[in-house]
Amino acid sequence: MASTPNGLARIETHGKKHENGICHDDSAAPVRAQTIDELHSLQRKRSAPTTPIKEGAASAFAAALSEEERQRQQLQSISASLASLTRETGPKVVKGDPARKGEAAAKGAPSPQPQPHHHHHHPHVTPTISVSDSSLKFTHVLYNLSPAELYEQAIKYEKGSFITSTGALATLSGAKTGRSPRDKRVVKDEAAAQELWWGKGSPNIEMDEHTFLTNRERAVDYLNSLDKVFVNDQFLNWDSENRIKVRIISARAYHSLFMHNMCIRPTEEELEEFGTPDFTIYNAGQFPCNRYTHYMTSSTSVDINLARREMVILGTQYAGEMKKGLFGVMHYLMPRRGILSLHSGCNMGKQGDVALFFGLSGTGKTTLSTDHNRLLIGDDEHCWSDSGVSNIEGGCYAKCIDLSREKEPDIWNAIKFGTVLENVVFDEHTREVDYTDKSVTENTRAAYPIEYIPNAKIPCVGPHPKNVILLACDAFGVLPPVSKLNLAQTMYHFISGYTALVAGTEDGIKEPQATFSACFGAAFIMLHPTKYAAMLAEKMQKYSATGWLVNTGWSGGRYGVGKRIKLPYTRKIIDAIHSGELLTANYKKTEVFGLEIPTEIDGVPSEILDPINTWTDKGAYKETLLKLAGLFKKNFEVFANYKIGGDSSLTDEILAAGPNF
């Protein structure tokens, strides 16, 4: 044993071997790093190159070159998307996180170069500014980040972002917790004036091209003023022949993760071939629009320009604007190809029987299409083409208020890592979510990829629908829980698009509010409702689909007296539609609405099938029934002058299919 100058034995720390050759020092081999930063750099393994290196030396060299070229083209495309229309060049964009300086170079990313950009010609000539401060800086692009990377960005930089006890990302959408339909504008150029639905009842509030460009410039300048922007390149529509490429440019990781979940996620190969998007969203939601700008009536504006294939969002961070904004675009693009776009959920039985669930917000599309015994095709947006149905989206957007594990286990279990949870309240310490808490909003939401539902049908396509279920949440309590509709009745109720929810969240009894929204989605349609109705009638006839009206609302009296029909009963009713049991049931006809209602359904108390039985005050029932019938009649007046489909006999039948009193 060696001695130190002071005579004490030196403590040996390594290299000491026992007779049997085994080292008993408990420390493992030292890490191969000199500093903590180097150690951290070891943590992250570099992702494999997306282009597989091909066999042979020469082609390997070619592949490496093409990878670099591809990266360059991708940055050029993003730079072009972000280019100002009043300045000569696009911004200098560089891939990577500005907080991780130096790494991009280390990873061999191409050095950033300002890209020449040939902008679209537009009539409002603006002087060209060749040098500006904005062209001196770089905009970092966080391109198609993974959920894990987006979590880190959100938690680091966005107030109100937390990981919940089940791993979801809790976020706040800011001042707006729902859509702003009164701020949704569409450029009315010559073509749009001809093709689109304008005027009373239409969701399309007009704006001119110049105002759109003003707002676009505002959004682009805002985005370019930031250190970094998120860019998602994704797809819409699982029907591969009618797939739309969308690019979403946003300032928040929340928005990027939301769209990652809601749109169809490209594979690495698909991303390499992505090229130029068909449609681009500029989401500058944190930044308001300028009320001195023509047409602006608030600080919010959601603007669509079909000719430019662009959408600009100013003054709202509610992510649903992007989802439903793109849905509007599909309502324009698809009918031009003879494809019907539908605001509906969709699922399929194991035998291949497909059902559509139409309905306004809160009526049960998401809840009822998510069915443990069936394959989920989608919860909200679909297309019906000559080859069948296809989901437009890659994810679901479920309401979370009062969510329970028992009643909705599939949705409950989908709220895990990767899921965006909007505006929920959770325990400060345990991060357990209280789904009953409405402190932020009643419209709490979860956005998750569709494959988080165990029985999702991937790819999300199916054959022609067998059943078309129209959902209404009737807070007046007079519509039957289920009725079988003939084609004319189906069209009448489809065009009416009725639901009645209870306004406000305050205590005390409130008058139910009847809502009529054509095609169960007037907020999203672009053409006149009769165009969609005619297509639906034609398809239902051609493929022999049966229409049903299902009331998921009140029973035993109106809101305040009766109760919302129990979800397990509604599920039994839906089961009986799917199984065919209801096709052969005995029916009787109701007064006023003339609806065919079954007298018996397995698992549902027979007395609730005719609402009159559940009301103790029969006089009040009749009065309420007539009141609702009157509202239907009044709403339908505007459609009386339109022809639906090729011949006028269907139009006459539809007009006669409403309430009679």
Ligand X SMILES: C=C(OP(=O)(O)O)C(=O)O
Ligand Y SMILES: Nc1ncnc2c1ncn2[C@@H]1O[C@H](COP(=O)(O)OP(=O)(O)O)[C@@H](O)[C@H]1O
Catalytically active residues, by annotation: 179, 324, 343, 361, 365-366, 380, 445
Other Cβ atoms closer than 10 A to 43: 6
Q: What is the 3-state secondary structure (H, E, C) of 440-455?
A: CCCCCEEEEEHHHCCC
CB of 457 to ligand Y, least distance (A): 18
DSSP label of 647: S
Strand partners, 500: 474, 514
DSSP label of 46: P
Task: Indicate the residue among 142 and 473 with the shorter CB distance to ligand X.
Answer: 473
Residue 367 binding: pick among Mn ion, ligand Y, ligand X, none (C-beta 5-8 Å cut-off by kind)? ligand Y
Task: Indicate the residue among 86 and 367 with the shorter CB distance to Ca ion.
Answer: 367
Q: Which residues contact 303 (CB under 8 A, 6 or more apart)?
A: 185, 186, 187, 207, 211, 212, 215, 216, 311, 312, 313, 314
Rg from Cα positions in the chain: 29
Report how far residue 176's alpha carbon sits from residue 61's, in angstroms, rounded to the nearest whole number.
52
Q: How many chain residues touch ligand Y (CB under 6 A)? A: 16
**Is residue 365 near ligand Y by the rule CB under 6 A?**
yes
**Is residue 499 near Ca ion by the rule CB under 5 A?**
no
**Is residue 232 near ligand Y by the rule CB under 6 A?**
no
CB of 567 to ligand Y, least distance (A): 4
Other Cβ atoms closer than 10 A to 573: 26
Question: Taking CB positions, which residue lies at the least distance from ligand X?
Answer: 361
**Is residue 361 near Ca ion by the rule CB under 5 A?**
yes
**Is residue 363 near ligand Y by the rule CB under 6 A?**
yes
Task: Indicate the residue among 215 and 344 with the shorter CB distance to Ca ion.
Answer: 344
**Is residue 366 near Mn ion by the rule CB under 5 A?**
yes
Residue ranges in 559-578 that form contacts with ligand Y under rule CB under 6 A: 564-565, 567, 570
Residue 179 binding: pick among ligand X, ligand Y, Ca ion, none (C-beta 5-8 Å cut-off by kind)? ligand X
- The 371-400 contact track toward Mn ion, x by CB under 5 A, reads ---------x--------------------
Q: Which stretch binds ligand Y (CB under 6 A): 156-164, 231-239, 247-255, 362-370?
A: 362-370
Report how far residue 612's alpha carbon sits from residue 589's, in angstroms, rounded to the nearest whole number.
13
The dihedral over CA atoms of 195, 200, 203, 206, expressed in degrees to the nearest 10, equals: 70
What does the binding site for ligand X look like in residue numbers (CB under 6 A)?
179, 320, 324, 361, 365-366, 380, 397
**How deeply is 378 buried, as exposed, middle or buried, from its count of CB atoms within 10 A (0-12, 13-18, 19+)?**
buried
In which residue are the tokens 């991009």 written?
Answer: 104
Task: Indicate the residue among 471 and 654 with the shorter CB distance to ligand X.
Answer: 471
Task: Indicate the residue among 469 and 644 with the shorter CB distance to Mn ion.
Answer: 469
Task: Indicate the residue among 93 and 565 with the shorter CB distance to ligand Y.
Answer: 565
* Helices vs strands, H then E, count in the chain: 16, 31
**Is residue 139 near ligand Y by the rule CB under 6 A?**
no
Other Cβ atoms closer than 10 A to 134: 16
- Contacts with Mn ion, residue ranges (CB under 5 A): 365-366, 380
- Contacts with ligand Y, residue ranges (CB under 6 A): 359, 361-368, 398-399, 552, 564-565, 567, 570
